[in-house]
Structure 1
Amino acid sequence: MIRVIGIDPGLKNTGWGVIDVAGSKLSHVANGTCVSDGSDLAMRLLSLHSQLSAVIARYRPQAAAVEQTFVNKDGAGTLKLGQARGIAMLVPAQAGLPVGEYSPNTVKKTVVGAGHADKVQVQYMVRLQLPGVELNGPDAADALAIAICHAHHGGASSFAAAVERARA
């Protein structure tokens, strides 16, 4: 079994979702949202770092997956999102976790079957693949979808296989 954390980076709301992967079986562990507020960018990033570090310390995942940033028309907004994404990649890397990266379309295609699925479809399929899950919100649902995508793309299973080989 391997524990995976999926992270949906955002400057105000960073979603996170933790699943256990045992072969093709997925189990929900926890999900939530790291929330930063205020106008000082440095303090918002520090808040996200602290909250995400606490999540990783509590749930002890063995692998992480982060959604890639898409470029939109607002260059300043894209740069700020990129800084939040940097925190989302830094925290698991600091914990020694391998970090996979997936585009939003890859996540949606893996979880829903369509690369341009909307949030409602993603949430429905996350609930279907993780029965009984109570979603903390749309950002947490997206983070669980990222973790599911990592599990299906072999990120979790190849890591588990490497650990088994190292133990032998």
Structure 2
Amino acid sequence: RDPLPQRLHEVHEGVRELIARHRPDTLAIEDVFYARNVRTTVVLGHARGVILLAAQQAALTIHEYPPAAIKKAVTGRGSASKEQVQFMVGRLLRLKQPPQPADAADGVAAALCACLSVTLPSMPPLNLPSLASVREAARPHITRRPSESRS
């Protein structure tokens, strides 16, 4: 029931406290969310903005993922339901019960998506022998002396 600016301040301070306590390197967050209710979409956009601000102030690497990408990373389907996401988060993390409420599972799913989509740094090309030279080296070589002819 507090005014929106007060609630946003509380979200910002809460995220800053979490960052200070846990000292993460990265923040994973769902891309812009479109709710059926326009007012809900706008309020969620404001909340997302103060979360991004706290992450930027802490110099975190920020990864943003579309909702379908998060669902697909965790459940294998981009159109999974909230219940399916909750279930799979619980399974992947071997929890006794899925995270409650569903929004908590969504946050954990975003973090899992970031973990599952980490790319390794690129390596310079390896100087490997050609397949033909490997086959030639593997071919058995039989050496016979001229005096060892078969009769």
| TM-score between both structures, scaled by the size of structure 1 | 0.65
Distance change >3 Å, CA 39–CA 142, structure 1 → 2: same
Q: Relative to 1, partners in 2 of residues 1:124 and 1:72: Cα closer, same or farther, differing over 3 Å?
A: closer
Distance (whole Å) between structure 1 residues aligned to residue 39 and residue 83 of structure 2: 28
Partner of 1:153: 117
Q: Size of the alignment, in residue pairs?
A: 121
1:139 aligns with 2:64: no
1:119 and 2:62 correspond: no
Instruction: Please give the alpha-carbon distance, in whole angstroms, between the structure 1 residues aligned to 2:72 and 2:60.
Output: 25
Q: Which structure shows the higher strand fraction?
A: 1
- Structure-2 change in CA distance of 1:133 and 1:141 (3 Å): farther
Q: CA deviation at 1:133?
A: 6.4
Instruction: Decide which structure has the larger Cα Rg and report it.
Output: 2
Alpha-carbon separation, structure 2, partners of 1:152 and 1:81: 25
Residue 75 of structure 1 deviates from its aligned partner by: 2.7
Matched, 1:81 2:50: no
Provide structure 2 residue ranges, at least 5 long, that are not aligned to the other structure: 122-151
Q: 2-side partners of 1:119 and 1:77: how far apart?
A: 18
| TM-score under structure 2 length normalisation | 0.72
- Alpha-carbon distance, 1:81 to partner: 1.2
| Alignment correspondent of 2:56 | 93
Match of 1:52 among 12, 15, 18: 15
**Alignment of structure 1 residues 51-70 onto 2, 5 Å:** 51-70=14-33
Tell me which residue corresponds to 1:5: none
CA distance in 1, matches of 2:64, 2:96: 24
In the TM superposition, what whole-angstrom CA distance separates every residue of 1:103-137 from its partner, at most 9, and x where no partner exists?
Answer: 11110011001111111111111111112366242
Give me the whole-angstrom Cα distance separating, in 1, the residues matched to 2:28 and 2:96.
19
CA RMSD across the alignment = 2.0
Decide whether aligned partners of structure 1 residues 133 and 57 sit closer, same or farther in structure 2, where only a CA change above 3 A counts: farther
The residue matched to 2:85 in structure 1 has which SS? helix
Distance 2:23 2:115 in 1: 17
- Gap regions ≥5 residues in structure 1: 1-37, 162-168
Note closer, same or farther for the CA distance 1:56–1:76 as it changes in structure 2 (3 Å cut).
Answer: same
CA distance in 1, matches of 2:116, 2:3: 38
1:45–1:150 CA distance, 2 compared to 1 (3 A)? same
The change in CA–CA distance for 1:73 and 1:145 in structure 2 (over 3 A counts) is closer
